[in-house]
Structure 1
Amino acid sequence: MAGTSVGRAVDQIRRMMRSQELLPGQPLRQEALAERLGVSRVPIREALKSLEAEGVVRHRPNVGYTVTRLSADELQQSSLMRAALESTVLRRITRLSDARLVELDELNRGIEAAAEAADVLRMTELNHDFHFVIFRSSGLDLIVDEIERIWKMTEPYRSVHLYDQAARRRLVSEHRRLIDALHKGETATAISILDAHRDHPAPHSPGAVLPAPG
């Protein structure tokens, strides 16, 4: 789908969420999105259906589509689910190949460059790629697919802390430590680093940080 007009619309709408151009709870008007993205309403409609299936947007009869807005309890549940699933995935990885380690290092260098440039959108995209290179190496595709669903649904909340320079630099540093632990095959250390890494956005996550639009 990525190469189709629908796939491109999905990617562009997702980028608008990552950049906070679209906020949780915000109505999604198909006409406005079509004009903004320079396409007809047909791919927009199909893109919104696809995003609804991911849980990223919600649809209500007589209301239409809105960006999914999660409660504090839902955010806490998503964090607990990620902790359980991501730990399971890491335990399956005994040691990453040299090629994978090089790929992770290159991605983290890109994240560092984006961090120094305060390019949060680019940083968010590369951060996703970094983590899923690790997760996909486990071979536990069904579990990783579920992790990715949770990541997509919570992304607008998780990226907020990256607007802080210290948080951006901390993320890059923790990635280096994670790469080192994976290189040494130290699974318990990698899980511990990932747990701490995951917890940083928590104080910023509840909806108070992302005001209801409108």
Structure 2
Amino acid sequence: MTAGVDPSFDYFSGTPPGKDPDTHSPTLRRHHQLLWNKELPTGGRFNLAPEPGAHLVYRSASGVFFLASDAITTRMRGKASRVRREIPNDDMPVYRGYTAGSTLVFPGNSIGRKMTINRARGLHPRIADRFDLTLECIRRHYLGELPNPLGDVMNRYADFFALFENFAGYVKFFLLKDLVEEDGKTVRFFHTFDDFRTPAVPKTKDEYLEYLRSSEDFITARSSTIDAEP
């Protein structure tokens, strides 16, 4: 287990009521430091330090990077509310809370007064805050493939993605292998994907339950991956 990181810890339990753990949980901030303060594939160490007015900051010869925490799984309570009403609570997959397996850091500073990655992926109708679709956009960014619904925002933060050299480096660094097929090149989508033509929000009860189960399976698998880190 990564020293000091308990993958079962729910960050809401250490956050004041009504507050967002991504901003207000000191445990989450410390876990990000413990998990990601390591050697980059392009050289140098990704040393994250808390600074006033920022969540975590990485200062290097490559530049200054302001990082913000964000959940990389969503149950789409609002976006899929119509479908959710059709499903009894007892049929819902168990929610295990906001844990290390379901969090990541992204650049948190706005460039040119435009949206950050977190905001763009939450608002884009072809992404709907889903991380599997976000990861596909990241893969396409590295390869220059189109279409890429988040292409513009990814390009704004190209210096950040360059730190990890390529898609394989990004996946390895952030312990995301559980969302990628054995070939290391194909994203494991949470439900049917057709080149961003299929709706990001599940439209039927079965689709939504499949999405939730796949999402929870990913969190469980990534938590085990984190637990196995030296």
- What TM-score do you get using the length of structure 1 for normalisation? 0.31
| Higher percent of residues as helix | 1
